[in-house]
């Protein structure tokens, strides 16, 4: 088992028709900057297999809110400049 004390999440704009691991034109990347080995003992998890992160309600809502804010900011700046 490891602990990950230093990490970041990045959103990258991609073409969802070409990038399998994306949703709504965005790919979420989990960047590990540092990790520490805590134990060599295998940990038993209830969910042994990975799940689709983009089917998670909180993640999907975060992405939708992010896209909405970007669109709104762009629209507001275009309106203000005219």
Asked whether 11 and 28 are in contact (CB, 8 A), the reply is yes
Can you give the pLDDT at residue 4? Answer: 92
Residue 32: which of 1, 66, 3 has the closest Cα? 3
Asked whether 67 and 22 are in contact (CB, 8 A), the reply is no
What count of Cα atoms within 13 Å lies in the side-chain half-sphere of residue 40? 0
Can you give the pLDDT at residue 62? Answer: 86
Asked whether 36 and 44 are in contact (CB, 8 A), the reply is no
Q: pLDDT tens per residue, the chain (82 residues)?
A: 789 999 998 888 999 899 888 888 888 888 999 999 988 888 777 776 767 777 788 888 988 898 899 899 999 998 988 8
pTM check: above 0.75: no
């Amino acid at each position: 088992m490891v602990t990950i004390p230093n990490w970041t999440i990045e959103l990258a704009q991609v073409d969802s028709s070409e990038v399998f691991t994306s949703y709504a034109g965005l790919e979420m990347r989990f960047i590990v900057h540092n990790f520490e080995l805590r134990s060599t003992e295998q940990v038993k998890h209830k969910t042994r297999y990975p799940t689709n992160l983009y089917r998670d309600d909180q993640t999907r809502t975060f992405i939708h809110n992010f896209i909405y804010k970007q669109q709104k900011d762009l629209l507001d700046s275009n309106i203000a400049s005219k």
